[in-house]
């Protein structure tokens, strides 16, 4: 039995719990082997080394076909070594025979779950608790550990935005690789940055509210909406924009509708306020 917690020996007694049930949580790489099999002795250590290196990205389940012929028969194993990847209780990929370290690593890259560094997990947990400054301090402390991790840079950028540090947030965002900029979170951050930059020279919300109260023109309403959105008053800003779409759709080349769409992207697909105003906008445009 391996000392690695992510490597487990499989028998009929633990097959359901350690293979089938576990595969709903993380990919399970099922290795069919036998003591007499020469190629198995080459492939087995490579699989165990990958399981150790990837630290929980997958579970390596080792099944001795000689000791468990009924399980080997259930999978119709004709030759060994045979490797299968199980996810959500069913095989999704596999191969037969021993392969080299590079080929094995490439194969596992397709299926192994990406595991966030411990420091990033801790920082995300602090964010979930609303402890933004503590999360930022932790990212600073773990800078070397997280250097080059795009997810960590995304989180730092989002924290800087939440803390009002828009210029520094833009610097970190611009340093991201395209893969992270084009992710759902990356696009949302870019939209937030754009909203903040459009509103930076407008003045404060109170000042713009006073201007709108004195002269409720479309221009004053739109400026107030921009400032409210940049200030995190999303419902108030979207309400003003929706009113503009209803009453002055042509204002500044349909600027209100366009800004609503930018705001929806900034807030993301699960934000309740955004989803409410998505629906209201559709009702205005298409009903």
> What is the C-alpha separation between 257 and 255, in angstroms, rounded?
6
Host H or E run for residue 275: helix 272-286
Q: How far apart are CA 246 and CA 261, in angstroms?
A: 15
pLDDT exceeds cutoff 80 at 261: yes
Residue 237 has pLDDT above 70, yes or no: yes
Q: Report the distance separating Cα 224 and Cα 229, nearest Å.
A: 9
The one catalytic residue in 28, 40, 57, 230 is 40
**What three-state secondary structure class fits 25?**
coil
Name the range with the highest mean pLDDT among 107-111, 166-170, 187-191, 219-223: 219-223
Given a cut of 50, whether residue 105 has pLDDT beyond it is yes
1 pLDDT exceeds 50?
no
pTM of the model: 0.52
Query: What tokens were used for 21?
Result: 């049930």
Tell me how far CA of residue 254 lies from CA of 12, 49, 184, 276, in angstroms. Answer: 65, 58, 25, 20
Residue 117's pLDDT band (cuts 50, 70, 90): low
Pairing of the two strands 82-87 and 28-33:
antiparallel
Task: List Cβ<8 Å contacts ≥24 apart for 272-281.
Answer: 273/234, 273/235, 273/238, 274/234, 274/238, 277/235, 277/238, 277/239, 277/242, 280/242, 281/242, 281/245, 281/257
Other beta carbons within 10 angstroms of residue 17's beta carbon come to 10
| d(C-alpha 233, C-alpha 230), whole Å | 7
**Nearest CA to 115 among 149, 86, 139, 142?**
149
The DSSP line for 167-208 is HHHHHHHHTS-HHHHTSHHHHHHHHHHHHHHHHTTT--HHHH
Catalytic residue among 8, 37, 160, 205: 37
Q: Could you confirm whether 37 is annotated as catalytic? A: yes
Report the mean per-residue pLDDT for the chain.
89
Query: What pLDDT, in 10s, does the model give residues 41-65?
Result: 999 999 999 988 877 789 999 999 9
Domains and CATH numbers, the chain: 7-109 (3.40.30.10), 118-182 (1.25.40), 205-286 (1.25.40.10)
- The whole-angstrom separation of Cα 146 and Cα 120 is 7
How many Cβ atoms sit within 10 Å of the Cβ of residue 247? 11
The confidence band for 149, taking pLDDT boundaries of 50, 70 and 90, is: confident
Please state at what angle helix 205-214 crosses helix 218-230, rounded to 10 degrees: 160
């Amino acid at each position: 039995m391996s000392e690695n917690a992510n490597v487990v020996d499989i028998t009929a007694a633990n097959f359901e719990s350690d293979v089938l049930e576990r595969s709903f949580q993380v990919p399970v790489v099922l290795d069919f082997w036998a003591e007499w099999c020469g190629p198995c002795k080459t492939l087995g250590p490579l699989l165990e080394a990958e399981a150790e290196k990837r630290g929980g990205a997958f579970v390596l389940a080792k099944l001795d076909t000689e000791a468990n012929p009924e399980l080997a028969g259930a999978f119709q194993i004709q030759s060994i070594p045979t490797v299968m990847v199980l996810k959500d209780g069913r095989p999704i990929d596999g191969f037969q025979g021993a392969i080299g370290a590079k080929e094995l690593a490439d194969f596992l890259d397709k299926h192994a779950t990406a595991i966030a560094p411990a420091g990033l997990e801790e920082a995300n947990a602090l964010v979930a608790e609303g402890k933004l400054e503590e999360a930022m301090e932790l990212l600073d402390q773990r800078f070397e550990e997280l250097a080059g991790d795009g997810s960590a840079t995304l989180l730092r950028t989002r924290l800087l935005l939440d803390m009002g540090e828009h210029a520094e947030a833009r610097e970190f965002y611009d340093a991201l690789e395209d893969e992270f900029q084009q992710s759902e979170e990356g696009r949302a951050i870019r939209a937030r940055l754009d909203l903040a930059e459009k509103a930076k020279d407008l003045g404060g919300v109170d000042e713009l509210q006073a201007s709108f109260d004195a002269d409720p023109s479309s221009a004053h309403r739109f400026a107030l909406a921009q400032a409210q959105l940049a200030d995190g008053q999303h419902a108030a800003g979207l309400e003003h924009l929706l009113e503009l779409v209803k009453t002055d759709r042509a204002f500044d080349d349909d600027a209100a509708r366009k800004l609503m769409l930018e705001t929806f992207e900034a807030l993301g697909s699960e934000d309740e306020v955004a989803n409410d105003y998505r629906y209201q906008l559709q009702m205005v445009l298409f009903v």
